[in-house]
Amino acid sequence: MGKKGFNTTNLHSDRRDNPEHGVLHKPVHPSVAYGYEDARHLAEVFQGKRAGYNYGRQLNPTVTALQNRITQMEQGIASVAFATGMAAISSALLALLKEGDHIISSAFLFGNTNSFFGTLKRLGIEVTFVDATKACFVESAIQENTKLVFVETIANPVTQVADLKAIGELCKLKSLIYCVDNTMTSPHLFLPKKVQASLIVNSLTKYIGGHGNALGGIITDTGLYDWSEFGNIYDAYRTEKSELQGITQIKKKGLRDMGASLGPEAAHHLATGSETLSLRIEKACENAQVLAEFCDNHPKIKKAYFPGLSNHPQHERAKQLFKGFGTIFSVDLKEEVNCFDFLNKMDCIVSSSNLGDNRTLAIPVAHTIYYEMGVERRASMGISDSMVRFSVGIEEVADLLTDFEQALA
């Protein structure tokens, strides 16, 4: 089809793969197993010498079609889908790392990723958390055994924007795997490949699915990292071309052995959702800008955090890197406003933990998603007890403004 736009490519993606009966959507294939007329072909599929399917935990045609869509969106070379975003992160890192390795992570991190990195520490993998808004902090944390740097694009809930470009240059220079969680921006707002990411994480549950009706996660390899330089590749996968060794190991050791596979029904929901990604996220970004500006100027709000505000410390960086400032913003309420009472007064804004939904959702973060982390770590992340995070949806902005006005009145 040649080089076409983001939407055109995605909308016509399933058609290019010789779909059954000329269908425009890749069908949902529930079959777990695949039968072969010639037993030799089955053996060849197992040995990777013939394209084909062997067992549903490892491969499914509906899931493959979704993987192809995301690979195209991210301009990568291959993707592996998982049951959730957390399954993608944990399976990939457990597949690639071993005891005695060291990773550097942004300190401003999705709560469950932070929790998983605690699990890595128990397994003997060292983790150093740094302020990733400046590449120099990443650089000074590098050790002899450092293997990987993990960052998010826009961090949750204080919306720090990592020094994505400079960290990419640093990782390139030091031959480190650069893993960028693109969930908050999605491939519509940002392509991590442009800052030399090696691996990209997307929680499909969020913007790509968008409708809050299916869980999923995916790892995409950009093809930029030379896996022949990486000591942890098993001999069995060294036979692959060097750029495919990492994703092959993630597929075999991460997906096959750990088994957090994406189901075909969820893949179908997520693929359908992905078709309107750019329309939804552009509208939600517009709404978020209006609401964040409203909150920034409101006398009952102490502070608003949103990369689209000119007072945001990384506003200029976000402007340069992203096609939009995202749809997440947070506020610190003044003492006289109780965060629970405030949320209970909302009419169309729902108290809920998800984000990237079509609906506008709000959550008091210290009491919920960052509760387990404890007071100290929360303070180090700049999370106050009065902080409320909003994930802005695609409702009419006037209705959302009315909600804020009356809840703060």
Binding site for ligand PLP (CB under 6 A): 84-86, 110, 113, 152, 156, 181, 183-184, 203, 205-206, 215, 217, 355
Spatial CB neighbours of 116, under 8 Å, sequence gap ≥ 6: 86, 89, 90, 93
Residue whose tokens read 């010639």:
38
Mention every residue, 6+ apart, whose C-beta is less than 8 A from residue 306: 159, 288, 289, 292, 296, 312, 325, 326, 328, 329, 330
Cis ω before 187 (30° cut-off from 0) = no
Nearest-approach distance from CB 187 to ligand PLP, in angstroms: 14
How many helices and strands (H and E) does the chain possess?
16, 12
Give me the least distance between CB of 398 and ligand PLP, in Å please.
28
Within 13 Å and on the Cβ side, how many CA atoms surround 117?
22
Beta carbon nearer to ligand PLP, 62 or 114: 114
What is the closest distance, in whole angstroms, from the C-beta atom of residue 81 to ligand PLP in the complex?
11
How near is the Cβ of 87 to ligand PLP at its closest, in Å? Answer: 7
Q: Which of 5, 72, 4, 46 is nearest to 256 (CA)?
A: 46
Q: Which is nearer to ligand PLP, 187 or 404 (CB)?
A: 187
**Nearer of residues 179 and 355 to ligand PLP, judged by Cβ:** 355
Q: Which is nearer to ligand PLP, 255 or 397 (CB)?
A: 255
Quote the least distance from Cβ 53 to ligand PLP, whole Å: 25
Minimum CB distance to ligand PLP smaller for 201 or for 408: 201
* Nearest CB to ligand PLP, comparing residues 45 and 81: 81
Nearer to ligand PLP, 214 or 309 (CB): 214
Half-sphere exposure of 372 (CA within 13 A, CB side): 9
The letter for the amino acid at 403 is D
Shortest distance (Å) from residue 355 CB to ligand PLP: 6
Q: How far is the CB of 88 from ligand PLP (least distance, A)?
A: 8
What residues contact residue 346 under an 8 Å CB cut-off, 6+ apart?
A: 362, 403, 407
With beta carbons less than 8 A apart as the criterion, state whether 233 and 96 touch: no
Nearer to ligand PLP, 199 or 408 (CB): 199
How near is the Cβ of 361 to ligand PLP at its closest, in Å?
A: 12
The three-point CA angle 226-231-234 to 5° equals 95
Q: Which is nearer to ligand PLP, 86 or 103 (CB)?
A: 86
Which residue carries 């995202």 as its tokens? 326
Q: Which is nearer to ligand PLP, 309 or 355 (CB)?
A: 355
CA 81, CA 97: separation in Å to the nearest integer? 19
Cβ 159 to ligand PLP shortest distance, Å: 12
Q: Which residues contact 335 (CB under 8 A, 6 or more apart)?
A: 386
In the complex, the smallest distance separating the C-beta of residue 391 from ligand PLP, rounded to whole angstroms, is: 9
Question: Could you tell me the two tokens for 269?
Answer: 């929901």
Q: Give the separation between CA 201 and CA 109, rounded to whole angstroms.
A: 13
Q: Comparing C-alpha atoms, which of 241, 238, 239, 242 is closest to residue 226?
A: 242
Closest residue to ligand PLP: CB criterion: 85
Q: What is the rounded CA–CA span in Å between residue 267 and residue 191? A: 22
